[in-house]
Structure 1
Amino acid sequence: MNALRQYVDHFIVGQVEKGKQLGRTIGFPTANLNIANNVFLESGVYGVYVYYQSKKYLGMMNVGNRPSFNDGNHQTIEVHIIDFNEYIYDEILTVEIMFYIRKEKKFNQLQDLISQLKADKFYARKQFHLLK
């Protein structure tokens, strides 16, 4: 339980910017966040709450350099908002980090990445249910 609580009260605020739109092609659209401050988080996937227009959503956030897409070594912060489908480019999101899901890793096959994202989403929903 202690590991779960280490991220509570850790918030990231950022503006949604247009990315390469690869996530939407595999069923996991992401909001790419442009943040003012550096984020000192371990690369990986996190379960997060996303606050947008006074509403709270469940989400998954990837912090890292997207090794499966050979995207370079710059850090990106991408949020997949679960059960959400709105146009939010240039909008401001507040993200509350709740728990760590897994380390970022390279997938050689796109289908392997999709399968892992589905498993991550299932795990995240289960963890959010336990937080209630």
Structure 2
Amino acid sequence: MNALHQFNEHLIVGHVEKGKQLGRKIGFPTANLNLVEELMIDKGVYGVYVYHHSKKYLGIMNVGNRPTFNDGDHQTFEVHILDFHECIYDEYLTIEVMFYIRNEIKFDQLQDLINQLQADAFYARKKFRLLQ
């Protein structure tokens, strides 16, 4: 968890690129980030603040290799912005990691992933309320 603590002083900046749009199909669209600067952060799901056009949003970010989708071993940074429905391809987002939620998990059933993402979003909203 040491990797998380170092980001309390740093922001992650990434360019939003079009992905496979799998998150959109299950009700959790994500911004797939191509990071401006390489960094090390532990795999897992995080509660994050997302800055877009000088507005701050709440989000959950997965860092890892998307094991449920057998998507290879390359590391991805995917952010689901809560209560956000804009098209932001080819734009830049700034991400502030606030807290760790859980390890990245491989789910056998897609519905299990959807249920976990709903639980992650619920947990993140609750935790963000405590931070305010």
Is TM more than 0.5 here?
Answer: yes
SS of 2:73 mapped into structure 1: coil
Deviation, 1:11, is 1.2
CA distance in 2, matches of 1:12, 1:73: 21
CA-CA distance at 1:9 after TM superposition: 2.4
- Superposed CA RMSD in Å reads 1.3
Q: Look up the SS of the partner of 1:116 in the other structure.
A: helix
What corresponds to 1:48 in structure 2?
48
Residue segments in structure 1 that go unaligned for 5+ positions in a row: none
CA distance in 1, matches of 2:106, 2:39: 21
Deviation at 1:38, TM superposition (A): 1.8
- Residues 109-129 of structure 1, C-alpha deviation per residue, up to 9 Å, x if partnerless? 000000000000000001000
Q: Which residue of 2 is the match for residue 82 of structure 1?
A: 82
Q: TM-score normalized by structure 1?
A: 0.94
Retained in 1: the 8 A contact 2:13–2:37?
Answer: no
How many Å separate the matches in 2 of 1:10 and 1:99?
A: 14
Q: How does 1:8-27 map to 2 (within 5 A)?
A: 8-27=8-27
Q: Does structure 1 retain, via aligned residues, the 8 Å contact 2:15–2:36?
A: no
User: How far off its partner does 1:10 sit?
Assistant: 3.0
The alignment's TM-score, normalised by the length of structure 2, stands at 0.94
What secondary structure does 2:8 align onto? coil
- Whole-angstrom distance in 2 between the partners of 1:36 and 1:60: 19
**Percent identity of equivalent pairs:** 70
1:65 maps to a residue whose letter is N
Is 1:17–1:32's contact at 8 Å kept on the other side of the alignment? yes
TM-fit CA distance, 1:8: 2.0
Taking the TM superposition and a 5 Å limit, the aligned residue runs for 1:1-132 are 6=5, 7-132=7-132
Mapped partners of 1:60, 1:45: distance in 2:
7
How many residue pairs match? The answer is 129
Secondary structure of residue in 1 paired with 2:80: strand
Distance in 2, matches of 1:39 and 1:103, equals 18
Q: Is the 8 A contact 1:11 1:96 kept in 2?
A: yes
Q: Secondary structure at the match of 2:11?
A: strand
Consecutive unaligned residues of structure 2, counting only runs of 5 or more, are: none
